[in-house]
Structure 1
Amino acid sequence: MTSPLTSATVPFFGWYVVAATFVLATFGWGVGFYGPPIYLQMVVQRTGWSVALVSSAVTLHFIVGAVVVANLPRLYRLWNISIITVAGAVLLATGVVGWSLAFQPWHLFAAALLSGTGWVALGAAAVNAIISPWFVRRRPAALSMAYNGASVGGVIFSPLWVILIVSSGFAQATIIVGISMILTIGALSVLVFSKSPEVMGQSPDGTGSHVVISPTSAPLVSSGPRSYLWRNRRFLTLAIAMAAGLFAQIGLLSQLFSMVVPLFGPQTAGLVMGGATVAAIAGRSSIGWLMPAAADRRLVASASYSIQILGSLTLLLACGDNAAKIIIGVLLFGLGIGNATSLPPLIAQVEFDKADVTRVVPLIVALSQGTYALAPAVFGLVRTISDPAVFILAATMQCFAVLAFLHGRHQ
């Protein structure tokens, strides 16, 4: 990877920030996002508690995170990004250990409060906050690379959790992962996240000039009181589109593995789901590097969601017994998985001024997380009606997201 130079001898530090944030996202999603479904199964096996009870703790994990992420900018102002990031890693690690040791239901919910509070400091809003000061024109590429850590987190941690649990036990596995995460994130916070372009004497994008580059197009919304966002069409449609898209994604993915196991078997079904993750990385990277600076990012997001709609409809047409159509449907759906989290912040970058972006991104992430926390339960309920209804609901929600993106194109 070639990075621009700010001088003849000093490399642009922003690309080191991207690499460090990639690692942060790998831990954040691997432990805080892809981990809870595995914790659910382990807790149910160990305690004999009902799936409904433990599932409610998973929902609490995500809802608490939604509340915290909405206040992340305030926390960054009170302390700083590096301190909050380390604190998040400690809380997440402590909470996950708590999941493994809980022997009363209230212990489990207390652990969920800790893990939900901690993981958002390593999540989507945090990635955007860390990357944004370092990039303007090249922010799409930088964010796509950093957000790919989320997908890699799923690829690495989903099997890693199983291997560690089988070899060492649930509690020991959480301790090993927790300590490794705290040490890694702590080192990155000191060496990388504590730095800023001003501290390093560099400018965004490594242009060699200390003049901050403006986005390609001037922000279309001026800064104002916090309350104005809730009356602003661009903010509302962006929040609705992101929430609807992620609701469809999380809901469908929560059911998809068990839906394809009867046809493929567990191992092959795992490979098929892994294909969705690979497609997610390819889709996000392609848009990050190839999207023109002057592109209408709402149209790009609409196109990405439209591909996912095709994937949902292909899965519907597969009728559960056409292997080729299922694989094609999973890959089409997977192409948009990463863009659902990375494109909304990029839309906010060009539609709001710099001061408001720091408020808009955490808010849309919080609203999305609070919404998709309910998706597994809703899709599970719909599946009791029929399997095809799951794909119809996913496609409908994604159509709604596309309409929201398009409706917000004109203020």
Structure 2
Amino acid sequence: MKSKIFYGWRVVAACFIVACFSWGLGLFGSSVYLQAVTTAHGWSISQVSSAITVFLLVSAAGQSALGRSIARHGPRPALLVGTVCMCCGVVAISLVDRPWQLYPCFVFLGIGWATLSTTGISATVAPWFERYQGRSITLAIMGASFGAILGVPALLYTVDRLGLRAGLCTAGVFTAVVLLPLIAGVLRYRGPADLGLARDGGVPGADGAPERAKHIATPENRRRLLWSTTLAFALTLLAQIGFIAHHVALADQFLGKFGAGLLVSATGAVTLFGRLYLAKIVDGAPVRRLACEAMIAQLGALLAIGLFPSATTLIVGSLIYGFAIGHVTTLSPIVVRREFGAEAFAKVYGTAATFIQFFSACGPAFIGYLHERLGSYPPVLLVSAGITALGCASLYLGPKRE
């Protein structure tokens, strides 16, 4: 009996699982590696964190090539290679006995993270949907939240119970066992045309095709649309990733270590609710305006904490900021998909993501430098608010207005 479920939703489900593992072992897992490696070997935090920076930069450098590869060959080859690289990198981290050996490990991890994160997942899902383009990408990337909520505690527990070497080897092998068959089996099609279908599961050439986006890129405006979006999310994520990296240190000053941990967990939970709300509304909303509203919310939270630093403003501001985190991290591919269409998405967003990820990778170091120069976090948050405001202005002014 033929399944009534459109195959595109199976692709979304597979990408959700990929995101759970990739964010759990990649971006969020880096904090676990930092703690576990420094504890096991007695190396300094700066030695290990510099290798993590290499991981982020390698990932950024691979975005454009990834977009071209998926556009030409489909997602399966790139995501299979990325899975192998990520798993090898995780296992290799457990085997190092010299600090310099961390760098090739994190290079492999960076290649894996590049292919299995926002660009790879968005480019995989984008060809399958028109009417539900925003919801499908949002639901797929929502696996990132579960990677933080479930993946990081599971990784910490495994390393704690089995030790660094056995724990990371187990995590790497388990990830390969789950993801390799999933990607090979489910992501074998490039799009609905391979199944004789139109986007959203319709019949090619049938009436009632999904309505096209209002702003479609043309040779005259495509550069303006692309770079206004790229600059907006690059600046906003520079501030956002920096805030996330320094959140514990900031909260510790007002709430203590235990309170800081609770606030970070609550912020993560609110981020998940933000993504769920986004999935509900995104396909019926102007996505540039939606992203600007999220940036304005973050701008207000940063200003409140910076101008009126206290435990109360920190808690309220963090929760508001956290609700918007999911919007900002998810909407950049949706804006590009809406404005450039499915056919050009992988190549165009690969270019945008390279620039965005290079900026966001600098966020923790940039905020740390500002803190050292300015002496405390409140003025740093005001600078971050200004950066976010510039990003919002770039996004709002991007389309030409009559």
State the TM-score, normalizing by the size of structure 1: 0.90
Structure 1 stretches lacking a partner, 5+ long = 1-6
Match of 2:216 among 214, 220, 233: 220
The question of 1:200 aligning with 2:195 is answered yes
Q: Which amino acid aligns with 2:217?
A: V
Counterpart CA distance in 1 for 2:24 and 2:136 is 20
The question of 1:327 aligning with 2:339 is answered no
Match of 1:280 among 271, 284, 290: 271
Write the deviation string for residues 39-86 of structure 1: whole angstroms up to 9, x where unpaired: 122222233333222222111101111111111133235644112212
Counterpart CA distance in 2 for 1:337 and 1:255 is 15
Deviation at 1:304, TM superposition (A): 0.7
Match of 2:340 among 352, 364, 367: 352
Matches within 5 A, 1:37-186: 37-76=31-70, 79-186=73-180
Counterpart CA distance in 2 for 1:185 and 1:163 is 21
Matches within 5 A, 1:211-290: 213=209, 216-217=212-213, 220-222=216-218, 232-290=223-281
Once structures 1 and 2 are overlaid, which stretch shifts more, 267-276 or 56-65?
267-276
Deviation at 1:113, TM superposition (A): 1.0
Inter-CA distance 362–213: structure 2 relative to 1 (3 Å threshold): farther
Counterpart CA distance in 2 for 1:9 and 1:26 is 26
Once structures 1 and 2 are overlaid, which stretch shifts more, 61-70 or 383-392?
383-392
Counterpart CA distance in 2 for 1:389 and 1:97 is 41
The question of 1:337 aligning with 2:328 is answered no
Once structures 1 and 2 are overlaid, which stretch shifts more, 19-28 or 187-196?
187-196
Q: Which amino acid aligns with 1:363?
A: T
Structure 2 stretches lacking a partner, 5+ long = none
Q: Which amino acid aligns with 1:56?
A: S
Counterpart CA distance in 1 for 2:17 and 2:3 is 26
Once structures 1 and 2 are overlaid, which stretch shifts more, 140-149 or 348-357?
348-357
Deviation at 1:124, TM superposition (A): 0.1
Partner of 1:4: none
Partner of 1:394: 384
Matches within 5 A, 1:287-298: 287-291=278-282, 293=284, 295-298=285-288
Deviation at 1:8, TM superposition (A): 8.6
Deviation at 1:343, TM superposition (A): 1.1
Counterpart CA distance in 1 for 2:342 and 2:335 is 12
Kept in 1, the 8 Å contact 2:8–2:200? The answer is yes
Inter-CA distance 223–214: structure 2 relative to 1 (3 Å threshold): farther
Structure 1's consecutive aligned runs of 4 or more residues displaced over 6 angstroms after TM superposition are none
Kept in 2, the 8 Å contact 1:63–1:370? The answer is yes
What percentage of residue pairs aligned between the two structures are identical? Answer: 26
- RMSD after superposition: 2.3
Counterpart CA distance in 2 for 1:267 and 1:152 is 22
Q: Which amino acid aligns with 1:216?
A: R
Inter-CA distance 223–31: structure 2 relative to 1 (3 Å threshold): farther
Inter-CA distance 17–380: structure 2 relative to 1 (3 Å threshold): same
The question of 1:370 aligning with 2:358 is answered yes
Once structures 1 and 2 are overlaid, which stretch shifts more, 207-216 or 100-109?
207-216
Inter-CA distance 274–91: structure 2 relative to 1 (3 Å threshold): same
Kept in 2, the 8 Å contact 1:131–1:143? The answer is yes
Inter-CA distance 9–29: structure 2 relative to 1 (3 Å threshold): closer
Counterpart CA distance in 2 for 1:168 and 1:317 is 46
Deviation at 1:21, TM superposition (A): 0.9
Q: Which amino acid aligns with 1:306?
A: I
Deviation at 1:191, TM superposition (A): 2.5
Once structures 1 and 2 are overlaid, which stretch shifts more, 369-378 or 246-255?
369-378
Inter-CA distance 349–214: structure 2 relative to 1 (3 Å threshold): farther
